[in-house]
Amino acid sequence: MRVQQCVEYLSHSTRQAMRDEHEKRLGIRDERDVHVRLADPAFAAEVWKQASEPERQAIRLFVTSSARGFFRKREWDRLSAKNHRHLAVGLNRLRRLGLVLTVRKMWSEIGYLMPREVREHLTCCLLPEAESPSPAPKTLPYYITAGRGLHLDLFAVLLFIRDNDVPLTQKGGLHRRVRQKMAALLSLDRSHVDGWKLPPLADEEPDGLPLDVVLDVALRLGLVRPQEKRLVLAERRVLQWLDMTPEQSWEQLYELAAEQYLPHEGWWDALALWMKRSPLEQWHSLDSMLRSLAEAGFALPDEAKRRVVDEWLHLLLGFGWIQLGTAADGALYWRWNSLPRLPREEGWFVDPAGGITIPPLVPLQAVWALSRFCPLAFDGDLLRGELQAKPLQAFLAAGGTERQAVETLRQSCAHPLPEAVGQLIAMWGKNARQIQLEPLVRVRTAHPGLLEELRQIEAFQPYLQMVISPTDFLVTPAQEANLLALFRAYGYEPQAGAPMREEREAADSTEDVPAAGLFTVDRPWDGYAVENTFPDQWEGMPQAAALPKMWTQHFQSYHPQTLRDLLQRARELELEVQLRLSGGQMWEGIPRQVAVEMGYWHLTLEERSGKRRCRLDEIDRVRILLPDYLY
């Protein structure tokens, strides 16, 4: 769960208490909101720098042993049983800083959650500095070919959904014949997902899983949505996605893949983070990477290498993000493929006969515009198209013009557009015989005088080109929103028809709200909600908080029975005591034994230099020393 999602459940007073704790503990004074601070890598680095040992121990547990930063309370108690007092202090202080939040399941079971950004930044503090990679040995081709790129597979699926009717079954799935057509468009195949063990993906049909993954990504990005038993494009979202820079698009897709498809053990997050910060176009040894994670404190299973290859690297290979190679000694190396993140600044090539060759680095929005009148097909990493009469004439019938088609071809062409192509388009345009049915919006005024009034206002002239009666006129759907705004600006009160309004509101809501994916990957914290609470300073340490203040704040003498109680309590809590003997000697240490020997009470005190013994009646003054981290 991300910081923003977590903090929005906290009240203003809770956030202010965390800000006050930041100022008191870390000396941070600025006007940023809590969620902005927590997501800042510099803030996490400062926390790690100033953290006490109990805090660092708690951070290590959350980073190395939690399931995506989440612990149920009983899991935390089990892990911290051997060092409960120190870890209870560390956890409490992290909660007061907002680095760990309390979550609760239906008013019963409690858990602790470290938000994703916080966990990633603190993981960077634990991981060793990335070493300059040593020259890799001569690598051999890998036995599985890489995909052309997840963004291109997505593009192919979006084109298919735009140009074809994609009905859904009663259960919300795709018909077999449609699945077969769509699967043939992908470079992601079964070999890339064969090793998956993450439920429910492991239960899917292996042959259909690659298409399911691409559709799941498209649904989660909001690029497509089910509507009236059909799968349709969310046009606005698609255009926004096409306009993203390659780096932004890759970052978005990688974050989604790591969030949804990465297994939930703690070391997987560190692995993905290590890979993400590795330099491009350099070979990295998988064995070396796993060894570094183990040295940083992550508990790796015996089959870690096999699992990384089967459950993660093969998926990234299918997405076209990495390259894999095997050295002569069998060692596996990987490196990032920079192609999906390079600026898309190339142009396509058009021959006089209308054949088009499109390299991988042509801007996707230009290819999308071209595909409206030119059928496209993948040929390896290239896209190829051929201008044809019927698609072009359909484009013209839908409202496009010959000039738009020529300009689209010319703008992204790597060379001067052949004149023969323009002549070909003009010839096909003259022979166009398609008939296109278009929806229009009917505007009805209350009486003829109102329409005449609108005719006198110059601003309304562009919308009055299709008057069909003394009270009615037609506008295109594209003009509707502007016309409504214009009516309101001039003091009129337009009322949209109920069916139209409901349809528009439904479309807007489906595009603005992030959609669920094709399948649900269970997350450890599902069912838990962030609790609006700010822990007390002594929460989780009731024994230390219950000690009489006189025992901890005053250095004085006590009645023999009270003295025995004080020393016994310090022994149980393993707290240091400071005492002065009647001879003036000062001792400090942890009481290990308070017992009667030969009729006298004796104390065994463990100091740094060793153990000492004395009789209780020799003690003049005493007090319990609370560790600094308890304050």
Q: What is the mean pLDDT of residues 337-364?
A: 90
- Are 74 and 135 in contact by the 8 Å Cβ rule? The answer is no
Distance between CA atoms of 590 and 509, rounded to whole angstroms?
64
Q: Who contacts 467 (Cβ-Cβ below 8 Å, separation ≥6)? A: 451, 473
Quick one: which of 34, 52, 126, 49 has its CA closest to 88? Answer: 52
User: Mean pLDDT lowest for which of 48-57, 81-90, 346-355?
Assistant: 81-90
Residues 376 and 445 in one domain: no
- As a whole number, the mean pLDDT across the chain is 85
Q: What is the pLDDT of residue 406?
A: 92
Residues 160 and 217 in one domain: yes
Report if residue 537 sits inside a domain: no
Q: What is the pLDDT of residue 130?
A: 61
Report if residue 219 sits inside a domain: yes
Residues 414 and 276 in one domain: no
pLDDT at 511 over 50: no
Q: Which is more confident, 434 or 294?
A: 294
Strands (E), 44-130: 70-72, 101-105, 109-113
Pick from 94, 126, 158: which residue ends a domain?
126
- Among 207-211, 218-222, 434-438, name the most confident range: 218-222
Report if residue 522 sits inside a domain: no
pLDDT tens for 404-463 read 999 999 999 999 999 999 898 888 887 765 566 678 899 999 888 889 999 999 899 989
pLDDT at 507 over 60: no
CA atoms within 13 Å, Cβ hemisphere of 50: 15
| Residue 254 phi, psi dihedral angles, 5° rounding | -65, -40
Residues 184 and 329 in one domain: yes
Report if residue 135 sits inside a domain: no
CATH number, domain containing residue 612: 2.30.30.100
Q: What is the pLDDT of residue 548?
A: 84
Q: What is the pLDDT of residue 499?
A: 43
pLDDT tens for 373-419 read 999 999 888 999 999 988 888 888 877 888 999 999 999 999 999 99
pLDDT at 314 over 70: yes
pLDDT at 503 over 50: no
Residue 389: alpha-carbon gap to chain centroid: 45
Residues 29 and 57 in one domain: yes
pLDDT at 515 over 80: no
Distance between CA atoms of 621 and 551, rounded to whole angstroms?
11
Q: What is the pLDDT of residue 142?
A: 86
Residues 277 and 256 in one domain: yes
- Are 98 and 335 in contact by the 8 Å Cβ rule? The answer is no
Band of pLDDT at residue 204, cut at 50, 70 and 90? low
Band of pLDDT at residue 509, cut at 50, 70 and 90? very low
Considering its fold, how many domains does the chain have in total? 5
Pick from 340, 368, 401: which residue ends a domain?
340
Count of C-beta atoms within a 10 Å radius of residue 125: 16
Residues 391 and 256 in one domain: no
Residues 549 and 481 in one domain: no
Q: What is the pLDDT of residue 630?
A: 57
For the whole model, what pTM was predicted?
0.76
Pick from 310, 340, 370: which residue ends a domain?
340
Q: What is the pLDDT of residue 498?
A: 43
pLDDT tens for 559-605 read 999 999 999 988 887 788 999 998 889 998 889 899 998 889 999 99
pLDDT at 540 over 60: no
Report if residue 186 sits inside a domain: yes
Q: Which is more confident, 299 or 136?
A: 299
- C-alpha distances (whole Å) from 300 to each of 125, 219, 290, 611 are 19, 33, 8, 40
Residues 469 and 357 in one domain: no
- Are 130 and 191 in contact by the 8 Å Cβ rule? The answer is no
Q: What is the pLDDT of residue 203?
A: 60
Range of the domain at 278: 150-340
pLDDT at 519 over 90: no
Residues 207 and 253 in one domain: yes
